[in-house]
Amino acid sequence: MRGKRLKKTANSFMKNVVILICSQLLIKVLGLIYKLVITNIEGFGDTGLGYYSAGYQIYALLLTLSSIGIPSVISKLVSERIAIGDTKGAQRIFRVAFKFFTTIGLVLSIGLFLGADFIATNILNVPDVAYVMKVLSPAILFVAMSAVYRGYFSGQQNMKPTSVSQTLEQFLNCVLSITFVYACIGKDPYIMAAAGNLSTTCAIVITFIYLLMYYKHNKLNTKDSIESPERKKSDKQLLKTILGISIPITVSSLISVISGVIDTATVSNCIQISLQNTGMAKEALEEAAMSATGILSKVDTLVSFPLAINLAFSTALTPAISEALAIKDKKTASRRLSFSFFASLIIILPCALGFIALAEPILKMLYPTAYDGAGVFMIASVSMILTALSQTLTGGLYGVNQSKIPAIAAGLGAVIKFVLNMILISNPNIGIYGAAISSFVYQVIVFFICYNVMNRCVNMHIKFKTHILKPVVSAIGMGVIVFFGYRLFSSFLGNTVSTIISILLGAITYCLLILFTKALTKEDIMMIPYGTKIYNILVKLRIYKEEREPLK
C-alpha cells in the first residue's frame, strides 16, 4: 500500500510540474510576442520599453506586498490540513486569508494611484512614468484576491486553475497590449507605454472572474472532515499563523522585486549622472536613462523565459514537501527536492550557454530595430543559472518551514547590489553593465546561503560527477557547437535563419550529450511522465542497459 501511495504522489507531483511547465512556456511565449511587437512599433523602441518597465517595477513592488507570498503560504497550509483529513480547517484558512489580503490589496491600489506622481518625480526622476503606474493601480486588488484562490487550489495539488488563469491572463494581455499600443502610434512613448500597461489591468480583472467561477464549482468537500487543532483557533489566531509564514515569504519576494526597482531607480539616476558632463539637455538625459532601462527590460524578458520553466518545480515543490513532512515521510521529501534541483540544472544550463553563444544574433533576430545589449545579455545568462537553482531551493525551504532564510539571503544580496550599482553604473566606462554585474553578485549570495541551509534540513544527495559535472560538460559541448555552427551558417544564410538552425542544432546536441554521458539515471527517467516508455526505448537503442530487479 505504501509503495502504491508513493507512486501515486510521485506521479501527482510530476503531473503538476508538467502542467505548470506547459503553462509557463505558453505564458512566456505570449509575453515575448507582445514585447517584441510593441518594442518594434515605430515610436516605442527602447525608450518606450523603458517607461513601460520603470512604471511596472514600482507596481510589482506593491504587488509583492499584497500578493506574491500568498499562493505559497495558502498552498502550504491547505496541503497540510488536507494531508490529515481536516478539510474544514483548510476551507477556513482560505476564508480568513481572502478577507485580509483583499483589504491589503485595496489599500495598496489606492495608494499607488494617489502616490504615482510623487514616485515618478522624486524617486525615478522621470515624471511621465506616473501615467503607467496610474493605469496599473487597480490591478493590485484583483491580483491579491486571485493569489488566494491560486494558493487554495495548489494546496489541493490541483494546478489547473493556476495554469489556466495565468495563461488566459497572458493571452489577453498579449492581444490587448498590441491593440492598445498600435492605437497610440504617433503619440509620445510614455503614452504608448501607459496604453500597453492598461491591458495588464484589463486582463487581470477578467482572469479574476474566471477564478471566482471555478471556485464556486470546485470547493473542498467538508462533510467528512476530521477534528484538528485548527478548529479551535479564532480567526485572529489563524491570521497570525498565516502572517507568521507569509511575512518572511513576502519579504523574500519583496527584496527580489526591490532588486529590480534598485536597477530601475539607480539606472535612471546614475546614467543621468554619468552623462551630465556631456552637455546633454535634461530631456535627452531622461531618454538615455529610459533607453538603458529598456535594454535591461529586454534582457530580463529573454532570461525570464527559461526561468519560468524552472519555476514549475519551485511552485509544485512547496505543497509536495509540506504534504510529505506532514505525514513524517522525509524520504519522499528528500527525493523530490533532489530531483527538482538536478532537473533545474539540466534545464537551465543549455539555455545559459546558448544565450551566451548567440547573444547578439538572438537580439538582432527578435529586436531588429533595437538590438543593443549583447554584453549585458551574456552576464545576465550566467546569473540565470544561480537564479534557477535558488528558485528551487526557495520552494524547498518554504516546505520545511525555513521561509526566513530566502528573505535573509535576498536582503543581504540587495544591500550589496545597491552599493555596487551606485559605484559601477555611475562610471561612464561601465554604465549599464554595472547592473548586470551587481545582479550576478546578488545571485551568488542568495544561492550559497539557501543551498547550505537546505542541505542541512533535507539531505539532497547531490553527486558531483552525475548531477553537476556531466550536465556542465554537456552544456559546454553544446555551446561550442552552437557558437561555431552559427558562424558557419551565417556565412551563407541570413541572421534569423542561422540563429534558428543553430538553436535547433544546440538542442539536439545537448540531448544527445545528456543521454550518452548518462547524466540521467533510471530513477530520474522514471520520475518523468511516461518515464517507463522512454526508458524502454533507450534500452532498445542500447543507450541504457536493462537493470534487472534483484532476486528476493
pLDDT of amino acid 552: 44
Which helix (H) or strand (E) segment is 8 a member of? helix 2-39
pLDDT digits (tens, 9 = 90+) for 47-67: 787 787 777 777 777 776 666
* pLDDT at 142 exceeding the cut of 80: yes
Q: Which residue has the higher pLDDT, 319 or 274?
A: 274
User: Does the pLDDT value for residue 352 go beyond 90?
Assistant: yes
Please identify which residue in the block is written with the cell numbers 495608494.
111
Contacts within 8 Å (CB) and 24+ apart, 490-496:
490/361, 495/361, 495/364, 495/365, 496/365
Rounded-to-integer distance, Cα 326 and Cα 336, Å = 15
- Tally Cβ neighbours within 10 Å of residue 440: 18
- Chain segment 486-505, per-residue pLDDT in tens: 999 988 888 999 999 999 99
Q: How far apart, in whole angstroms, are the C-alpha atoms of residue 454 and residue 552?
A: 36
Residue 551 has pLDDT above 50, yes or no: no
The pLDDT, as a whole number, for residue 548 is 55
Mean pLDDT value across residues 456-477: 84
Of 280-284, 286-290, 416-420, give the range with the top mean pLDDT. 416-420
The band of 260, judged by pLDDT with boundaries at 50, 70 and 90, is: low
Q: What is the pLDDT of residue 354?
A: 93
Counting Cβ atoms within 10 Å, is residue 518 exposed (0-12), middle (13-18) or buried (19+)?
Answer: middle
> Is pLDDT at 525 greater than 50 in this prediction?
yes
Q: pLDDT tens for residues 76-91?
A: 788 878 877 778 888 8
CA distance 476 to 235: 54
Pick 200 or 27 by higher pLDDT: 200
Burial class of residue 353 (count of CB atoms within 10 Å of its CB; 0-12, 13-18, 19+): buried
What 3 state SS string does 331-398 have?
A: HHHHHHHHHHHHHHHHHHHHHHHHHHHCHHHHHHHHCCCCCCCHHHHHHHHHHHHHHHHHHHHHHHHH
Does the pLDDT at position 176 exceed 50?
yes
Determine the pLDDT at residue 229: 65
Contacts of 58 (CB under 8 A, 6+ apart): 112, 119, 123, 124, 129, 133, 261, 264
For residue 9, is pLDDT > 60? Answer: no
Q: So what's the pLDDT on residue 527?
A: 66
Answer whether residue 174 shows pLDDT above 50: yes
Q: Give Dmax over CA atoms of the chain in angstroms.
A: 84
What phi-psi label fits residue 45: left (phi over 0), alpha (psi between -120 and 50 degrees) or beta? Answer: left
DSSP structure class, residue 280 = -
Average pLDDT score over the chain: 80
pLDDT (mean) for 242-261: 72
Is 453 or 258 the better-scoring residue by pLDDT?
A: 453
* Of 293 and 455, more confident: 455
Model pLDDT, residue 13: 61
Q: Which DSSP helix (H) or strand (E) runs through 538?
A: helix 531-540
Contact 130, 120 (CB under 8 A): yes
Spatial distance between the Cα atoms of 491 and 503, rounded to a whole number of angstroms? 16
11-55 residue pLDDT tens: 566 666 677 777 777 777 787 787 778 877 877 877 787 787 777
- Indicate the pLDDT class of residue 441, thresholds 50, 70 and 90: very high
Decide if pLDDT at 401 tops 70.
yes
Show the cell assigned to 518: 548518462
pLDDT of 98-126, one tens digit each? 888 899 889 989 998 998 888 888 877 77
CB 387 within 8 A of CB 443: yes
Instruction: Say if residue 185 is exposed, middle or buried (CB neighbours under 10 Å; 0-12, 13-18, 19+).
Output: exposed
Instruction: Look up the pTM and report it.
Output: 0.68
CB 156 within 8 A of CB 15: no
CA 60: distance to chain centroid?
13
Confidence class of residue 481 from pLDDT cuts 50, 70 and 90? Answer: very high
**Confidence category of residue 1, pLDDT binned at 50, 70, 90:** very low
- Alpha-carbon separation of residue 83 from 100, 271, 435 (angstroms): 25, 53, 44
Any idea what DSSP says for residue 528?
S
pLDDT tens-digit readout, 535-546: 788 788 777 776
Cα dihedral angle (518, 523, 525, 531), rounded to 10 degrees? 150
Q: What sections of 184-281 are H helices per DSSP?
A: 189-217, 235-275
In whole angstroms, give the CA distance from residue 339 to residue 335: 6
CB 469 within 8 A of CB 519: no
**pLDDT category, 528, cuts 50, 70, 90?**
low
Tell me the residue type at 154. S
For position 362, what pLDDT does the model report? 92
Half-sphere exposure of 426 (CA within 13 A, CB side): 11
Which CA distances in Å does 500 have to 354, 361, 488, 496? 12, 10, 13, 6
Q: What is the pLDDT of residues 500-523, one digit of tens each?
A: 999 999 999 998 898 888 887 777
